[in-house]
Amino acid sequence: MALPKAFIAKYQDLLGNESGPFFEALSGPVHKGFRVNPLKESQTLVDLEKDQPIPWSRDGYFGQVLGRGIDHTTGLVYSQEPSAQFVAEVLSAQPGERVLDLAAAPGGKSTQLAAQMNGQGLLWTNEIFFGRAKILSENIERFGVANAIVSSADSRDLAEQLPAYFDRVLLDSPCSGEGMFRKDPEAITYWSEDYPRECAERSEAILENAVKMLRPGGVLVYSTCTFAPEEDEQIIAWLLDRYPEMALLPIDKVAGSGIADGRPEWADGNPDLALTARLWPQDLPGEGHFVAKLKKADDADAGKKVNVQKPSHLSAEESALLNDFLAETVPGLAFSEERLITFGDRVFLLPDNCPAFGRIKILRAGLCLGTFKKKRFEPDHALALAIHPSQVAQSFAIDDERQWTAYTHGEALSTKADLKKGFVLMTAGGNGVGWAKYVNGQLKNFYPKGLRH
């Protein structure tokens, strides 16, 4: 790996005798990892093994995901670099809380938070760049998350709309990416001696809005995938100085894992900075990360009241179509119509007590149930991935490779199964993978065209 001379000199100076193992590790192997999704009804892996657990990740394992395999396609696993899995573990979202992932694409940490919340509470997950936000939304869908709002907004606009609202906020800040050099050598081409300072200034601006959205007594986790002190300890020193209501909390660094303390001497010498965590590639099987956990004082400004999003009023015909579909197809799914909102012909089930969106650009407003068509209701792919097979009236298990290939190609399947005319949840490995409509011995394929392979 051809590292920039200025980068080498910087870390030789900072690390001293530790720099040799550090540079050697950057030329070493990349470690792959994945997480198992506890939101899915079946926890039995088809393509992977759970024989190498990641010590600092509750549902994490070492191993490489098959992108077109059953485990990935059904959302039972999420491919995520091992060190990155530590960040959401530190935040430790709880069921029923209001949680914000502020710079969330592509969705690894958001899906991990969703798993912790177990479908209860509100997960607001945001990405400012719309193209990346679409990828985030797709991963939220595949993971079967029903209680997430996916937005594409500047943090300033979110802070204006949602002041002092969230119990927990995660900012995995856009950074210089030094910790990813081994995994993604292209990141080296963006690096310059001044780049970490530029990224730090951007992080400061985003952090100011993150603090504004945190309720009194709430918890903020700040993380980066860089080694740069300018973006790590020095940012936290700046934050503590600027916001006296914020205080560092200790992080469980998992004894024997290799997770190290932060370096107070690389900032203002505040000994509390040792409470932060550093994940070094020479110390553990993962890439470089920095994590800090902070709490907002209980007596901080409570902010103004946040309004609840008003539901949409369904017409009598729409209500009848939806209720008939649910009774015939998903009898195990129950909710109040006061949580429904429509975007055009599509209808979404909002999380409980969802805050008003205002002018925020929303890509996903909870769980998309489906679309109203002429005289019928057609279920959305998201619903197939979020519900459990035990909730549906009819399901069909894809139990051989030929059927799997045919279904994911978009082909109809012939069957002698005892099914009634109507929608059928297609399953693989015990979890939903999509819809089909049964008519006269054939399962008409509703697998989305954009996902077919």
**Catalytic site positions:** 225
432 is in an annotated binding site: no
* CA 167 to each of CA 58, 251, 277: distance values in angstroms, whole numbers, following the listed order: 21, 18, 22
The 10 Å Cβ neighbour count of residue 414 is 10
Q: At what angle do helices 108-117 and 130-142 cross, to 10 degrees?
A: 40
379 is in an annotated binding site: no
Could you tell me the maximum CA-CA distance found in the chain, to the nearest angstrom? 74
Distance CA 246, CA 248 (A): 7
Cβ-based neighbours of 160, under 8 Å, separated by 6 or more: none
109 is in an annotated binding site: yes
103 is in an annotated binding site: yes
**Do residues 62 and 285 touch, judged by C-beta distance below 8 A?**
yes
Instruction: Indicate the burial class of 399 (C-beta count within 10 angstroms; 0-12, 13-18, 19 or more).
Output: exposed
172 is in an annotated binding site: yes
Cis preceding linkage at 106, omega within 30:
yes
104 is in an annotated binding site: yes
| Strands 346-349 and 340-343, bridge-based pairing | antiparallel
The one-letter amino acid code at 53 reads P
274 is in an annotated binding site: no
127 is in an annotated binding site: yes
Annotated binding site: 103-109, 127, 154, 172
Annotated binding site for S-adenosyl-L-methionine: 103-109, 127, 154, 172
